[in-house]
Amino acid sequence: MTKAEAVVQWREALTRLSDQHFFDLVRMYLGAIKTPFNKQKIIESLSAFLRNAENRGRILACLDNFDREILAGIRSLPSPTRGKLVQLLSGSRSFPEVYERILNLEERLLIYRTDEEVNGEYSLNPLLADALEPHVSIEQLIRPETISDPVSVPLPLSDSVLAGLYGFFLHERPAVRNDGTLRKRTLDALDAAFPDLAARGATLSLSVIALRNLSLLCVHDGVLVPDRDRWNLFARCDNASRIAYLCAAVYGRLTREALQRSGQSFLDLAGFLIPGGRYSLNAVSRAAYLVTERGGAVAGTRSRFSKILQENNREGTGVSADSAPDRGETARMFGLLSEQDGFLTPNAAFSEGNGDLSATVYVSPSYEVVLMPGSSLAELLPLVSFMTVASVQTVGNYEINRKSCATAFDQGATAESILTLLEKHSPSPLPGNLLFSVRDWFSGYTALSLYHGYVLKVDDSRRILFEKNEELSRLVRKTLAPGVYLLDMDSPEELQDAASRAGLDFIPSVAMGTPRTDPAPLPPLRFSANTASGTSSKDLPVASTGEDAEIRSALIYELEKMKPEKEQKEALLSRIHRKIIVSPDQLDPDSVRPEKLEARGVDFLGKVRIAEQASASGSLLEIQTDSGSRTLLGKPLSMEKKRGDVLVKLANEVDGSIETVSLSRAVLVRRIRGSIFSEPTQNR
């Protein structure tokens, strides 16, 4: 949208105001309006007030950090609404604070609503947008506390740890409860096998959740086992993509498209922050929300995010909406960010590439194996497929035994393939007793074979034809006896298709077995370092430390000289403190129409009147309870008179809950006028 089009949109927003709101607003800037009047000419006069260089300078000088945060949020968020701004600032500002300040910025003509009847989206006033530009950069929301050298620390879920998790579930095959959760014995075994990961709080448990949501761990016949094909595809991903997908999968089992968007948002978060910048968790949370909204990922507003989590919990693989970690905290737990001196900073290690060293193993005569770090996940998976996990920290400690080798034999390995793999990665000859044991275990394993799958019997007249046909013979996994074949297929349709391509017309009828998954690789993600502007904290505009106060003092001095009536003085003084009045020309007593907005303490009738006005106008009520420790903000639904009291039923604006509040016991009752672009007309 061009600036000219934006100005037209702003003018149209003003013309849509009710007469009462329009003239209330205009009187605060232009003084009393004389009849006859023309709205378009009045709007032009208002535009001239904003184009005046002195007025613009004073408006900018009165901006404080809170103003800048909201204005930067409006500039940075796609389709900024009140709900999005509340969510963006939720780590440091309460709902009533954000709500009131948005209304204040509307009155100060800094922002306006572009489509009140649709979503209530906000935009900067186009007449002030250019002047505001240096004051509303995204760094106002996400600025580092300090900037130091970039940090690179080992990833908690390194290739060796991921390989260890694969091996743990492959060999342990832990049973799960009816609700899908792991038993305490399994959790204790995980803690013992991965002590470094267990020491990072919820990282280990969330890792298991994420692996399940990515279908890298699946429940078969009541036990949790890895999907080998998916792990092989997962191992092809780079470090950054793997960690980002794990972070995204913490929040539920998502569709492929949603998973890609959410994973990308985690990479964008890491790239958004300045390398070496030390950020508070609140700043990181804001950055996470911004990149999520900009990328259209699944974790937008909290209500939408909670709905996704709630749906996924039916499968028992997600975390509840209430216990879901902040996305910035998830990035820290999985190593995208590193904690340094109480602050978070991007961890360069996740983007440094996969391990490129050849795996090195040291095998002792007691069958204990030490797996050195530095090699890739793809190279480690075949190795851990025949080793049980003892402990994985900086190095991996494993053990080769009959059971672990039997698991490998089940997957098609042989004694020679295992020993060849060990010899390839061992810098010294393998112990003789290990060579003998592995071959002996394989001999015992093959003495009795158990197969599961499709078996095809072909009579002698067709056996030669079957074995010579390339389309059919490629389906044979093993020849069990002359004319009896164990087939490598998931369904009879595969045999039907092969027979059809071979020009044969027979279609065997068999019972269906367990289907085998045919996973697709995860979509690629991209990482771009520092997608923010890269401005350092020393370059950021700093709120005025004295000019704002000087402007207010000068205006108050001018007001005192005018000696207006008490009600007029209070109203004008309120406008000064709300930063609506920035010029002495606005100090017009005739522009004041007194209106009481709050009542306190023993003023029971005043509190009732304020509540009635809010109910009639559709405004919000802010009520402090008798202790003064709790503040409610909501829309009054009804008022019920009791003996010596009036009970107000409020729809809480924060969570939608309905609460009943006693006005006689309230410390403060304040009517918060709604947006000038939306509040219904009220007859005074």
Where does the pLDDT of residue 359 fall: very low under 50, low under 70, confident under 90, or very high at 90 and above? confident
Residue given tokens 């350092």 in the structure block: 536
What is the residue-wise DSSP string for 483-520?
A: TEEEE--SSHHHHHHHHHHTT----------PPPP-PP
Cβ pair 487, 453 in contact under 8 A:
yes
Q: What is the pLDDT of residues 36-56, one digit of tens each?
A: 678 889 999 999 999 999 999
Where does the pLDDT of residue 321 fall: very low under 50, low under 70, confident under 90, or very high at 90 and above? very low
Most confident listed range (81-95, 291-305, 412-426):
412-426
pLDDT(113) > 70: yes
85-89, 317-321, 355-359, 605-609: least confidently modelled range: 317-321
Q: What is the pLDDT of residues 247-282, one digit of tens each?
A: 999 999 989 999 999 999 999 998 889 999 999 999
Cβ pair 278, 148 in contact under 8 A:
yes
Cβ pair 628, 650 in contact under 8 A:
no
Where does the pLDDT of residue 517 fall: very low under 50, low under 70, confident under 90, or very high at 90 and above? low
Distance CA 297, CA 305 (A): 10
What is the residue-wise DSSP string for 277-318?
A: EEB-HHHHHHHHHHHHHHHT-S--SHHHHHHHHHHHGGGT-S
Where does the pLDDT of residue 484 fall: very low under 50, low under 70, confident under 90, or very high at 90 and above? confident
pTM of the model: 0.75
Read off the tokens for 474: 């490629």
b vs e for 394-417, b when ≥16 Cβ sit within 10 Å of the residue's Cβ? eebbbbbeeebbbbbbeeebebee
Q: What is the pLDDT of residues 161-213, one digit of tens each?
A: 999 999 999 999 999 888 888 899 999 999 999 999 999 888 999 999 999 99
Distance CA 50, CA 128 (A): 7
pLDDT(599) > 90: no
b vs e for 515-524, b when ≥16 Cβ sit within 10 Å of the residue's Cβ? eeeeeeebee
Reduced to 3 states (helix: H, G, I; strand: E, B; else coil), residue 371 is: strand
Please, which residues have CB within 8 angstroms of residue 54's CB and are 6 or more apart in sequence? Answer: 583
Distance CA 467, CA 275 (A): 62
Where does the pLDDT of residue 627 fall: very low under 50, low under 70, confident under 90, or very high at 90 and above? low
Cβ pair 125, 50 in contact under 8 A:
yes
pLDDT(310) > 90: no
Cβ pair 618, 653 in contact under 8 A:
no
Phi, psi of 54 (to 5 degrees): -65, -45
Q: Provide the percentage of residues in the chain whose pLDDT is more than 90.
A: 44
Q: What is the pLDDT of residues 539-594, one digit of tens each?
A: 454 445 578 889 999 999 999 998 888 888 888 998 999 999 999 999 988 888 76
